[in-house]
Amino acid sequence: MKTIKQFINENKIKMSCDWADNNPSMTDFKGNHFKLKLKKDKKTMSLYFSQGYGHTGEPKINSVLECLQSDTFCSQDSFEDFCANCGYDEDSRKAEKIYKTIIKQNAKIKNLLGNSYNEFLDCEA
């Protein structure tokens, strides 16, 4: 089975990273925030990405894609299952906002990767 790192190399996926003051999807998260741009061929995808203060430096592309892959699997659940599996309260507006963000993000990664999308989902972290 192919790893995320191998998938990145074979598909020539590149990432640029800029610091951000906040992440609009995670307003109360205390950590480092980034505005990322992923590029494959002539397609690009922009997203916010956050990581705890314990992580030093900019995020690595393989870590970002591993998180996107994990989020993709979560977005395939119903909202109720998403909450149960990720420890959110179904009545939480915050949980609903995160769920909707993940669904939009999944559509963006699917567009970026095109025919490679299913191969991406099959990769090992």
In whole angstroms, what is the distance from residue 43 CA to residue 22 CA?
Answer: 25
State how many domains the chain has. Answer: 1
Quickly state the pLDDT bin for 96 (edges 50, 70, 90).
very high
Give residue-wise pLDDT tens across range 44-61: 999 999 999 999 899 999
Give the domain extent around 71. Answer: 4-122
Start-to-end Cα distance in the chain: 10
115 Cβ contact partners less than 8 Å away, ≥ 6 residues apart:
none
Stretch 27-56: mean pLDDT:
93
- Sole residue written with tokens 């592309």: 61
